[in-house]
């Protein structure tokens, strides 16, 4: 077996040298997207510098060069997943589009009322919503496969769900939350027994295990380039040729046709029938480069290293007191989903971020799975072959510090509540709020050097923040767009000044709310309009928290404040 050197491998990813929040980046969000090696980055810019032309169309040399590289990538993908012919490889913009293509082309033309589409409880939204839409359009029904205790699709119950009415069974090869390999062969066998097709969502599997579509004998297999060290905006739909040939086009336009007249249009051969318009040529060619890169590392050696890392990380995480995995037992790939008792998942992710560790918290685009497991969300550490044992040690150490700090929080006395007071309230609508001023906040942050100390201040504010009563947490007060739950209520005094009060189940959001509310409270609409919130956050060194990311939801809070003021209906 080829040797795998983690040092050499890591060096190929320039972003891993970055500092984040002043700390060396530890990137543990690989299930969302992987980082890109230099050869893939250079491949893209090289294409634009030396080969850029539209493919398949012109009769000039540059177009021929681009087309050769583009079709060479298709050959590479065909070999990589062991498809029968390159006609079975359709370019899309990602797993999501691949599934939508099958749902709208095959599903819409084939499904009849009361036909059944079988999914599983662990699917990503990308493998649920396209099926719901086509079910609505055709009258088909959705049925759902239960999971076993260990989080894989339960083979004991397959035939309780898959039956005579089943037309297609769509499931993840590996769930993006649970990280276990589903019993794929068994599910395909049962689907075939009922002449149902199978679609496998390989978005998570493609970077971690060998995929052989002929051995699997599935009808469709989908994946995205960006999860396997390739570019964003490119994906693959593998489909059996005989089935693809029967399917109508998904989108219409240039390239997918043979002849067009106003009377009649005939469609192109596979795979072009499904590739309308100018494709992501640079991305497709760079996907070819990412496959070449993976092959050069030696698959077996790379997977063997990942396996050691997975086992080590699982053992280390298991040693963190109060860490509860979302399902019991070890995952098959290095994807670990858990919560820390007594801590909001979002707070855990924000604390890790403050020391340079990138993880994801929330529902991970798998809300039905969260409901099934009766959790509101979890923290996910997802590792890749460029991660190392020291990074795992550091993350685990930080988690241990976090669990320790929860105990300290519980021990704290009321001495931290000096900023809190009842606001001068009106009889009609008393609002209890933090009496924190902009000057207080500026003074606190002037002392905080570095992101981790700013983060500590935010968490302290979050801890001291006066909470909303249950009655105040209504549909109307909810702030939509935050990944954690957050609420805002408001009251306008007779003087015209606004009083706001907010809450969130995540401490970090409560802290950020306290900072915002210090700036907006006790101001009239005119004063609020004149106040430059971006400038305030920039002075505090918190501008990144005004990013439109739904992770922190600060933009959503600002929007809610603006709405409340505009309608003065608080
Ligand atoms: N399925 C799974 C299991 C995934 O993890 C993802 C990406 N998180 C998708 C589908 C969708 O992939 P993309 O966003 O690249 O289309």
Which pLDDT tens digit goes with each residue over 260-269?
999 999 999 9
Q: Which of 173, 287, 362, 365 to mutate to test the pocket of ligand 1 (most atoms within 8 A of CB)?
A: 365
What is the structure's pLDDT at 410? 40
What is the structure's pLDDT at 547? 63
Taking residues 130-159, what's their average pLDDT?
A: 98
The pLDDT > 70 percentage for the chain reads 92
Residue 452 CB neighbours (<10 A): 16
In the reported structure, the alpha carbon of residue 14 is separated from the centroid of ligand 1 by a whole-number distance in angstroms of 24
Which of residues 534 and 67 earns the better pLDDT score? 67
| Banded model confidence at residue 548, pLDDT cuts 50, 70, 90 | low
**Quick one: three-class SS letters along 77-102?**
HHHHHCCCCHHHEEEECCHHHHHHHH
Q: Using an 8 Å Cβ cutoff, are 517 and 500 in contact?
A: yes
**Contacting residues for 121 by C-beta, under 8 A, at least 6 apart:** 144, 145, 146, 147, 368, 369, 372
Q: Which residues line ligand 1 (CB under 6 A)?
A: 31, 94-96, 124, 126-127, 172, 176, 201, 203-204, 224, 365
Q: Using an 8 Å Cβ cutoff, are 256 and 249 in contact?
A: yes
Query: Is the pLDDT confidence value at 419 over 80?
Result: no
The region of weakest confidence among 190-199, 220-229, 330-339, 488-497 is 488-497
Task: Please report, to the nearest 10 degrees, the dihedral formed by the alpha carbons of residues 73, 76, 78, 80 taken in order.
Answer: -140
What is the structure's pLDDT at 480? 75
CATH code of the region 6-30+298-404: 3.90.1150.10
| Banded model confidence at residue 283, pLDDT cuts 50, 70, 90 | very high
Taking residues 467-487, what's their average pLDDT?
A: 84
In the reported structure, the alpha carbon of residue 124 is separated from the centroid of ligand 1 by a whole-number distance in angstroms of 7
| Averaged pLDDT score across all residues of the chain | 90
Query: Is the pLDDT confidence value at 482 over 80?
Result: no
Query: Is the pLDDT confidence value at 407 over 60?
Result: no
CA 343 to chain CA mean position, Å? 21
What is the structure's pLDDT at 481? 66
For 217-223, the CB contacts below 8 A with 24+ separation are 217/188, 217/192, 218/184, 218/188, 219/168, 219/243, 220/98, 220/102, 221/81, 222/92, 222/95, 222/98, 222/99, 222/102, 223/95, 223/98
**Choosing from 218, 313, 365, 490, which is the catalytic residue?**
365
What is the structure's pLDDT at 192? 98
Domain extent listing, the chain: 6-30+298-404, 40-295, 409-567
| Banded model confidence at residue 428, pLDDT cuts 50, 70, 90 | very low
Q: What is the DSSP string of 386-424?
A: T--HHHHHHHHHHHHHHHHHHHHHHH--GGGGTTEEE--
In ligand 1, which atom is closest to the CA atom of 232? 15
Sign of the Cα torsion 439, 440, 446, 451 reads negative
In the reported structure, the alpha carbon of residue 323 is separated from the centroid of ligand 1 by a whole-number distance in angstroms of 26
What is the structure's pLDDT at 430? 37
The pLDDT > 90 percentage for the chain reads 72
Q: Which of 29, 91, 174, 176 to mutate to test the pocket of ligand 1 (most atoms within 8 A of CB)?
A: 176
What is the structure's pLDDT at 255? 85
Under DSSP, the state recorded for 249 is: P
Taking residues 258-282, what's their average pLDDT?
A: 94
| Banded model confidence at residue 291, pLDDT cuts 50, 70, 90 | very high
Most confidently predicted of 24-28, 54-58, 555-559: 24-28
Within this chain, domains 6-30+298-404 and 40-295 share the same CATH topology:
no
Residue 303 CB neighbours (<10 A): 18
Query: Is the pLDDT confidence value at 417 over 80?
Result: no
* Phi, psi for 344 (deg, rounded to 5): -75, 140
| Banded model confidence at residue 378, pLDDT cuts 50, 70, 90 | very high
pTM above 0.85, yes or no: yes
Task: Assess whether 378 carries a catalytic annotation.
Answer: no
Protein residue closest via CA to atom 12 of ligand 1: 95
Query: Is the pLDDT confidence value at 412 over 80?
Result: no
The region of weakest confidence among 177-186, 395-404, 443-452 is 443-452
CATH code of the region 409-567: 3.90.1010.10
Which of residues 478 and 135 earns the better pLDDT score? 135
The region of weakest confidence among 156-165, 288-297, 301-310, 445-454 is 445-454
Hey, what CATH class is 40-295 in? alpha beta
Determine how β-strand 360-362 pairs with β-strand 23-24.
unpaired
């Amino acid at each position: 077996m080829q040797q795998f050197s983690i040092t050499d491998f890591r060096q190929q990813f320039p972003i891993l040298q970055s500092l984040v929040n002043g700390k060396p980046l530890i990137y543990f969000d690989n299930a969302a997207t992987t980082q890109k090696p230099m050869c893939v980055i250079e491949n893209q810019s090289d294409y634009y510098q030396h080969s850029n032309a539209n493919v398949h169309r012109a009769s000039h040399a540059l177009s021929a060069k681009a087309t050769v590289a583009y079709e060479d990538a298709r050959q590479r993908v065909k070999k990589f997943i062991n498809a029968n012919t390159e006609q079975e490889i359709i370019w899309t913009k990602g797993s999501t589009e691949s599934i939508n293509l099958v749902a709208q082309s095959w599903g819409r033309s084939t499904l009849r009322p009361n036909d059944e589409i079988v999914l599983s409880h662990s699917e990503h939204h990308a493998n649920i919503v396209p099926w719901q839409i086509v079910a609505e359009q055709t009258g088909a029904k959705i049925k759902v496969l239960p999971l076993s205790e260990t989080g894989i699709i339960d083979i004991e119950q397959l035939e309780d769900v898959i039956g005579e009415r089943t037309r297609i069974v769509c499931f993840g090869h590996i769930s993006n939350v649970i990280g276990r390999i589903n019993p794929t062969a068994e599910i395909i066998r049962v689907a075939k027994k009922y002449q149902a097709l199978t679609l496998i969502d390989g978005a998570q599997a493609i970077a971690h295990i060998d995929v052989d579509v002929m051995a699997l004998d599935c009808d469709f297999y989908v994946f995205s380039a960006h999860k396997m060290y390739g570019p964003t905006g490119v994906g693959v739909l593998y489909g059996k040729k005989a089935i693809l040939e029967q399917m109508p086009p998904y989108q219409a336009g240039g390239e997918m046709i043979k002849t067009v007249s106003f009377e009649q249009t005939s469609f192109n051969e596979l795979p072009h029938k499904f590739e309308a318009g100018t494709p992501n040529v640079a991305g497709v060619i760079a996907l070819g480069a990412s496959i070449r890169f993976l092959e050069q590392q030696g698959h077996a050696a790379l997977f063997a290293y990942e396996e050691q890392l997975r086992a080590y990380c699982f053992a280390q995480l298991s040693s963190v007191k109060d860490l509860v995995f979302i399902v019991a037992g070890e995952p098959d790939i290095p994807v670990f989903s858990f919560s820390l008792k007594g801590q909001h998942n979002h707070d855990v992710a924000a604390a890790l971020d403050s020391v340079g560790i990138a993880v994801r918290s929330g529902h991970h685009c798998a809300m039905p799975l969260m409901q099934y497991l009766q959790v509101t969300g979890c923290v996910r550490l997802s590792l890749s072959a460029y991660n190392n044992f020291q990074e795992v040690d550091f993350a685990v150490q930080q988690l241990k510090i976090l669990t320790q700090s929860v105990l300290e929080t519980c021990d704290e006395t009321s001495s931290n509540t000096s900023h809190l007071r009842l606001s001068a309230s009106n009889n009609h609508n008393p609002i209890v709020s933090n009496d924190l001023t902009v000057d207080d906040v500026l003074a606190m942050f002037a002392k905080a050097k570095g992101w981790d100390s700013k983060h500590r201040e935010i968490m302290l504010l979050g801890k001291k923040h006066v909470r909303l009563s249950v009655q105040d947490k209504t549909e109307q007060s909810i702030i939509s767009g935050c990944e954690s739950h957050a609420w805002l209520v408001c009251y306008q005094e007779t003087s015209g000044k606004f009083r706001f009060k907010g809450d969130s189940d995540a401490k970090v959001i409560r802290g950020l709310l306290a900072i915002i509310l210090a700036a907006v409270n006790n101001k009239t609409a005119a004063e609020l309009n004149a106040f430059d919130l971006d400038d305030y956050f920039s002075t505090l060194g918190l501008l990144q928290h005004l990013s439109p990311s739904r992770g922190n939801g600060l933009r959503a809070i600002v929007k809610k404040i603006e709405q409340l003021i505009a309608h003065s209906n608080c």
